[in-house]
Structure 1
Amino acid sequence: MNRTHNMIDYEKTYQEFKLQVPEYFNFAGDVIDKWAQDTDKLAMLWIDDNGNQVQKTFAEISDSSRKLANVLTAQGVKQGDVVLVILPRNIEWWEILTACIRMGAVISPGTTQLTAKDIKFRADKADAACIITNNDIAAKFDEIADECPGIKTKIVITEPRDEWLFYTQELENASGRFETAKTKSSDSCIVYFTSGTTGYPKMAVHTHTSYPIGHITTGKFWLDLQSDDLHWNISDTGWAKAAWSSYFGTWNCGAALFIHHSDKFDPVKILEILSKYPITTLCAAPTIYRILILQDISKYKFPSIRHCVAAGEPLNPEIIEEWKKATGCTIYDGYGQTETVLLCGSFPCIETRFGSMGRPAPGIELHVIDGDGNILPSNTEGDIAVRVKPNRPAGLFKEYWKEPDRTASVYHGNWYLTGDRAYVDEDGYFWFVGRSDDVILTSGYRIGPFEVESALIEHPAVAESAVVSSPDKTRGQVVKAFIVLAPGFTASDQLVKELQNHVKKVTAPYKYPRKIEFADALPKTISGKIRRIELRNSEWGK
């Protein structure tokens, strides 16, 4: 598909682009219903592993959401109440989000990997009034239901369950007339439990106005979507990437979503889908691209795909090169957080610098600052920060709910601190160094784990790597790498030496891992990010 990208001149767009956040805005009423005026307009093409295929129009999503809003209202769920939504990629997930937004309820999405204990923690901490899930999760919830007296309404999808309302039956009996709530700029819309590097998850709250409107930038400039696109985001519904790329970002642009509902990750199936369906744009974590290029990718043709992006963790240059060889598409990196929309990215109209995070997103004043809040000169490492005064940008979260001290801790003067470290080159490109608490200090050097991980991943034996500090009598601490081997490779002392020499060649010799440990798997957060904190704590005996 040859056509003009949404951003043609980065400098001009960055200077001129402004998002207006009105006092009142409702994504269901102002966006979904707008696209639904064309009753044939496709919102979603959904498939599963059993050969089922369903198409949903915006009009159908709009209609189902009104019915569900009536069901929830009849059950006593009110504007401002929290609804736990724990589902895989069922069509109902999109109907539920739209219904909650329409009535002004607060959505709290969760992944299906949550345990009964996790669900109880969330229900308690968020004062949830309602849970909507499937039978598997409902069984987990029933174990702890007595300990969650706040949850008055329980709805299950797919098949009926004792003492639960059955979604399909309730919608069949509900009216399709519902007056969309007047949601204002201070009203909470969505609350994410976000796992930090330490402690229990915190609740990051976004509002009805700033967050959906902030994702105009995500969809228009980074995903490069137009209203005739079919966009596939390979992401769990339980974390913020789904809001970015499977809901607000895509539907702001009127593009249709491609959804593959599956309970397993199968790289061959992903490649088959990309070659069979008219998917034009793709979003996936770097780990997914990494696994895809390990397959026999030359067997496949990708006739429709025109634009690919990655987010969730830093992107390694060699993945971009291999993917481009196979598909003809550059992968454009994007950077942001659960607490934000897109902050920084590679865009089609700027030179791609492999390994860089790209440049600040339009509407975001992003800098690297020192501990006193001063903007640092180029090529000087510091904290990645968003300017929030005098003008707060669209898309930034409202607060860590019920934790004012924690909220205050991420602000410094005129800045919101992301907790990540980077440097900016002479041309304004950002280069990721690592989490503020992941930087390794050894023999007077500061080493960002990402650089070492990037070097390791270029070696054919390495499928995944995580790099942390490890105690050392002489140097205080040294670099240690945990490595998951690619298929066909076996751990050995010889391989350790080979990998160490490889890192010395690819990056500065002082950065090589003096210790290497082979592992079957690496600890990850629910959203798929490697939990270096666990590995680091085990090294330091914490």
Structure 2
Amino acid sequence: MQPGLTERIATVVQLSPPANALEFKGTWYSWKDVSSTMAQLESLLLSAGQKQGAPIGVLLRNRPAHVACVMQLLSSRRCVVSINPFQSPEKVAADIKKLNLPVLVADTDDWAQPAIQQAAAETGAALFQISQQETLSVEAINGHQQPTGQNHHEPLPDTCILMLTSGTTGPAKRIKLPYKSFAISLMGVPGHYSSHNEQDEVALKSTPAVLTTPLVHIGGMYAAMAAITSARPIVILEKFSVDEMRRTLQAYQPKLVALPPTAIRMIYDADVPKEDLSCLLAIRMGSAPMPSDLHESFEAKYGVPLLDSYGATEFAGAVAGWTIQDHRKFGSTKRGSVGRVQPGVEMRIVDPDSGEELSHSTPGLLEVKTSQIGHSDWTRTTDLAEIDEDGFLYIRGRSDDAIIRGGFKIIPADVVTILRKHEAIKYACVVGIPDQRLGAVPVAAIQLQPGFSDINLDDLKLYLREHLTSYQIPVAFKILPEMPRTPSMKISKHDVTQLFLNERAQ
């Protein structure tokens, strides 16, 4: 029988207790340290009356004690309820009140926020504090060892994570991620599409994985737990920085890392020496589209393949992606694709209205069928896409992004592509806002390239008229010092929209 997620975690932590498990800011914590922290949390949860299926809120930061706590919650078949600590304290407090969980786990830094303290106390949750200094620790806050509130969130016995979506196009939602789906995504189906199978002997790996994506995002959670279930130690980057990435590459020589396009841009712009990346066979990327000019320039400069992928929180990870073999054969001719469907997954493109399957290279709505979801039905996404004759998937935008301006449909990605080709523009985001006469109109936020302090908007509009039809041209522009971003480093379209709406309301 294929070992489950809970059994795999329990096996890994006992393989070699003194060995290095988690590195954070140059300090290593052993598997024994991790196991001790897991045991501390288990004792506190049992004392608080929390059994299998109990929903436990965790303000997830990229820190070793947080990883250890997630490991224990999953190995004991409780439910991790992810809470985003990168919001303002007031928004975190509102989230805590809305969830009304029986237990909340947070770092000492987060409990230092009065708004978070007050909201947690009002819910009557048991409150646990985690930290990482010389050792990892988790302890109950005095006076809050037991839940005392009423009508706490119901148990979720089959859900491993109540996971936040990325929140790119609107406020982040929570999706129930079943234990079975996450286990299949991490460890595969025996004999089908994963190197894991029931005969595998799990052994500790020597080269660590590098965690660069926030744990609160499915990409970070997947990366961390994929490393744990394959018995690989992890170097944890609390927040991506070029200097920390260079240190990690030089110290541990990993062959593969996963980075969002924003981090790849930071490395390129910092002019990191080629030899600093010489250990890498490839860089996996995802979470946001990669501009084709950056893709080509990065690979030409460093000689490291950039392997894009496609997935979603609903799918418990990636369902399509590039392999090194595909990159060698098709890298120059399939630029812009997110790769081919993974084994065990089916994809098709359908007409949004009729549902009829469309032919190769015809744009439509993407539908996915995968065992990672836990059922055999087709799942319709909101992604506009096409699949070519070789099976390569191209994401062309989102159907729910489309702006209908006086009956004309505008795909924001088309406008962003043209904006980013302007020499002065580094990043751009186009969204629709309501208009009484036309229904909706496009507006654009832009971030300028280094060396440009301003841009003439009249000249910019003339440039756009050379490349776009008149109805595609944004009616308003905002020049921002930095684009608002989600925890997964995507540009937050929701926040950009609010900037324009708030200005209108003033």
TM-score, normalization by structure 2: 0.79
Paired residues for 1:128-277 under 5 Å? 128-140=101-113, 141-149=116-124, 151-158=125-132, 167=138, 187-194=158-165, 196=167, 201-216=172-187, 227-247=205-225, 249-261=226-238, 265-277=240-252
Question: Larger deviation: 267-276 or 75-84?
Answer: 267-276
Deviations 1:83-141 (A, max 9, x none): 11114222111210111112221111223213444334444444422111122211332
- Alignment partner, residue 369 of structure 1: 350
Q: For the structure 1 residues 487 and 448, does the alpha-carbon distance in structure 2 shift closer, same or farther, using more than 3 Å as the test?
A: same
Q: Please report how far the alpha carbon of residue 231 of structure 1 lies from its aligned counterpart in structure 2 after TM superposition.
A: 2.2
Deviations 1:488-522 (A, max 9, x none): 112232x76368648957x9999666764422233
Q: For the structure 1 residues 81 and 286, does the alpha-carbon distance in structure 2 shift closer, same or farther, using more than 3 Å as the test?
A: same
Unaligned runs of 5+ in 1: 1-19, 160-164, 171-184, 388-392, 399-412
CA contact (8 A) 1:61 1:95 kept: yes
CA contact (8 A) 2:6 2:76 kept: no
Deviations 1:378-436 (A, max 9, x none): 2322222213xxxxx333279xxxxxxxxxxxxxx943222221122232222212122
Distance 1:435 1:230 in 2: 36
Question: Larger deviation: 495-504 or 193-202?
Answer: 495-504
Deviations 1:322-375 (A, max 9, x none): 222333211111111122221221222222322112122222112222233322
CA contact (8 A) 1:470 1:479 kept: yes
Give the alignment partner of residue 389 of structure 2, picking from 410, 426, 434: 426
Q: For the structure 1 residues 233 and 326, does the alpha-carbon distance in structure 2 shift closer, same or farther, using more than 3 Å as the test?
A: farther
Q: For the structure 1 residues 349 and 42, does the alpha-carbon distance in structure 2 shift closer, same or farther, using more than 3 Å as the test?
A: farther
The DSSP-based 3-state class of the residue aligned with 2:488 is coil
Distance 1:41 1:346 in 2: 36
- Alignment partner, residue 407 of structure 1: none
- Alignment partner, residue 491 of structure 1: 454
- Alignment partner, residue 53 of structure 1: 27
Give the alignment partner of residue 449 of structure 1, picking from 408, 412, 430: 412
Aligned residue identity for 1:214: S
Distance 1:139 1:467 in 2: 37
- Alignment partner, residue 301 of structure 2: 326
Matched, 1:76 2:53: no
CA contact (8 A) 2:309 2:321 kept: yes
- Alignment partner, residue 174 of structure 1: none
Paired residues for 1:93-112 under 5 Å? 93-112=66-85
Distance 2:435 2:69 in 1: 52
Identity %: 22
CA contact (8 A) 2:211 2:237 kept: no
The DSSP-based 3-state class of the residue aligned with 1:287 is helix
CA contact (8 A) 1:235 1:241 kept: yes
Measured on the aligned residues, the alpha-carbon RMSD in Å equals 3.8
Distance 1:372 1:320 in 2: 36
Deviations 1:58-85 (A, max 9, x none): x653454234323321232221111111
Matched, 1:357 2:338: yes
Q: Please report how far the alpha carbon of residue 461 of structure 1 lies from its aligned counterpart in structure 2 after TM superposition.
A: 2.8
Unaligned runs of 5+ in 2: 142-155, 196-203
Distance 1:451 1:195 in 2: 22
Q: For the structure 1 residues 345 and 146, does the alpha-carbon distance in structure 2 shift closer, same or farther, using more than 3 Å as the test?
A: same
The DSSP-based 3-state class of the residue aligned with 2:102 is strand
Deviations 1:191-229 (A, max 9, x none): 1133656775432111222212213369969xxxx9454
Distance 1:229 1:220 in 2: 20
CA contact (8 A) 2:265 2:294 kept: yes
Deviations 1:302-322 (A, max 9, x none): 232222111111122222222
Give the alignment partner of residue 324 of structure 2, picking from 345, 348, 352: 348
CA contact (8 A) 2:483 2:491 kept: yes
Q: Please report how far the alpha carbon of residue 152 of structure 1 lies from its aligned counterpart in structure 2 after TM superposition.
A: 2.3
The DSSP-based 3-state class of the residue aligned with 1:204 is strand
CA contact (8 A) 1:483 1:516 kept: yes
CA contact (8 A) 2:214 2:221 kept: no
Give the alignment partner of residue 92 of structure 2, picking from 119, 138, 141: 119
Distance 2:187 2:415 in 1: 35
Distance 2:394 2:426 in 1: 23
Number of aligned residue pairs: give it: 468
Aligned residue identity for 2:342: A
Distance 1:196 1:123 in 2: 18
Q: For the structure 1 residues 327 and 28, does the alpha-carbon distance in structure 2 shift closer, same or farther, using more than 3 Å as the test?
A: farther
Give the alignment partner of residue 490 of structure 2, picking from 511, 515, 529: 529
CA contact (8 A) 1:373 1:415 kept: no
Deviations 1:157-192 (A, max 9, x none): 248xxxxx962799xxxxxxxxxxxxxx97111111
Give the alignment partner of residue 416 of structure 1, picking from 376, 379, 398: 379
Distance 1:125 1:245 in 2: 28
CA contact (8 A) 1:62 1:98 kept: no
- Alignment partner, residue 401 of structure 1: none
Distance 2:442 2:404 in 1: 9
Matched, 1:436 2:411: no
- Alignment partner, residue 380 of structure 1: 362
Distance 1:276 1:195 in 2: 31
- Alignment partner, residue 394 of structure 1: 371
Distance 2:59 2:84 in 1: 6
Matched, 1:90 2:68: no
TM-score, normalization by structure 1: 0.75
Q: For the structure 1 residues 110 and 383, does the alpha-carbon distance in structure 2 shift closer, same or farther, using more than 3 Å as the test?
A: same
CA contact (8 A) 1:81 1:105 kept: yes
Distance 1:266 1:115 in 2: 22
Q: For the structure 1 residues 492 and 195, does the alpha-carbon distance in structure 2 shift closer, same or farther, using more than 3 Å as the test?
A: closer
